[in-house]
Amino acid sequence: MRVPKLLGAALLALGLAAGPAAADSASPSPSDDGGAPTEAGTSFRTATEIDQGETATANGSTGDYLYWSFPADTGQRPTVRATVKLPETHAAQTWQVDVYDGLRRRQSCQYGAQTRTAAADASTVELACVLRTVRAWSEPWANDPLPGTYYVRLTAVGLGTGDLGLPVSAELQVDSKDIGGSAAVDGSLGEPLVPGIAVTSARDDDESAGAVLSAIDPDDGWASGWWSDRWVWTAVGGALAALAGVGGYRLTRGSGRPSRVPPGA
């Protein structure tokens, strides 16, 4: 019976197909073109772009808004981690990290310490925000995370007058977990939510420089929602069902030929 051989071939095909799928959905690798950023923007339009996996740093003052942006693609569950190094002398401070999507809609955190209060003798405060899984498509009225640019805003809230302007330094890192076909949906965006507005600023009254927002994207391009590993499991499930049908037929058919009945018996 060749059913075991056919079953082994189907399982081998599953392994070969799942390999490229996992490689295609990997998180973007850190940038190799000059190291991680060492400053942060002060608004959405000047947010410093970072790749997933690299650690960005910035110096600022209490009361400042620090902004970064990063790309997140379909099937990823981003985790934003921020560490703020506080001055030696300060009162109790509350710090908060917020994440917004490409439409500047604030995204809720599944879990993580998004807001924390540092005691007066604390030297650092650590924050974290684990977003929901990025979906390939969503209803217009929904607030689901969609592929595109995401913005991180880090700031201290409710500061007293005496703590305004104190020097601080911050570290920010974004990583993602690939969820895969379990989060796949039927549908996809025409384009990722990546703002492409060009901003022009004057220098020395006669020189201008343009900065295009969100110039970075995943190293392997945007998935656009057309592929997920559930296609592999659907195909393999169909193949196994066909093999089961063939095997059942051969088992119930019998191995011997039917005996001939003599005429007139």
Give me the sign of the Cα torsion angle 162, 164, 165, 168: positive
Res 184: pLDDT: 60
pLDDT mean by block of 10 residues, the chain; 265 residues: 45 43 38 74 94 95 95 92 93 95 92 93 95 86 89 93 90 90 61 60 39 58 57 72 81 64 60
Res 198: pLDDT: 36
Supply the DSSP symbol for 23: H
Res 207: pLDDT: 40
Q: Which single residue is written with the structure tokens 């997140």?
A: 72
Measured distance CA(232)–CA(250) in Å, rounded: 27
For residues 169 and 57, the answer to whether their CB atoms sit within 8 Å is yes
Q: Which single residue is written with the structure tokens 């959905």?
A: 25
pTM of the model: 0.67
Burial class (CB in 10 A: 0-12, 13-18, 19+), 55: middle
Res 86: pLDDT: 94
Res 181: pLDDT: 60
Alpha-carbon separation of residue 17 from 65, 166, 220, 227, 238 (angstroms): 46, 55, 18, 12, 15
Supply the DSSP symbol for 183: G
Measured distance CA(212)–CA(133) in Å, rounded: 27
Res 52: pLDDT: 93
**CB neighbours of 124 closer than 8 A, spacing ≥ 6?**
83, 84, 85, 86, 118
Res 16: pLDDT: 42
Res 222: pLDDT: 67
Q: Which amino acid is at 112?
A: G
Res 60: pLDDT: 94
Res 130: pLDDT: 97
Token pair belonging to 19: 């390999």
Nearest to 40 by CA among 63, 22, 65: 65
